[in-house]
Amino acid sequence: MGHAVDGRAIPVGFKDVEQHTLTNVANGARTSAEAGADFVKAQFVGTVDEYRTVVRGCFVPVLALGGPMKPTPLHALRMAADAIEAGARGVVYGRNIVENPRPDRMVAALVEIVHGGASVDVAAKHLNAPL
């Protein structure tokens, strides 16, 4: 059994988010795939249509990075839904899950979007599920 090799469209530690332009992210994703990555983690930038160019220009699956903590959980769910609509195969979220008061509910909502094709409104119902 082989192991997955991932690529990052913008190097980790690249704190200058002004460099996270559509062109840079698209070029980084493509270059990571060309370098042998099995999948690429790329910042979600621009609109759904713009991010679609990142996905289409990369011949391996693209996973959208969550990036900085979003203002609300709904913002994080919207970004996930937009990335999936653009063709991303999944999301890589850290702080938008672990800093949520109920990470289990946030994960359930994201699963509904990524694997179930749910809308943000439907998925958000997981955030307020009864105990």
Nearest to 122 by CA among 81, 84, 70: 81
Secondary structure of 46-90 in HEC code, one letter for each residue: CCHHHHHHHHHCCCCCEEEECCCCCCCHHHHHHHHHHHHHHCCCE
Our answer to whether residue 41 is catalytic in this structure is yes
Helices 22-34/48-56 angle, 10° precision: 20
- Which residues are 43's β-sheet partners? 65
**Could you identify the residue written with the tokens 């997955």?**
4
Nearest to 7 by CA among 49, 27, 46: 27
Per annotation, catalytic residue among 15, 41, 70, 125: 41
Q: Which residues are catalytic?
A: 41
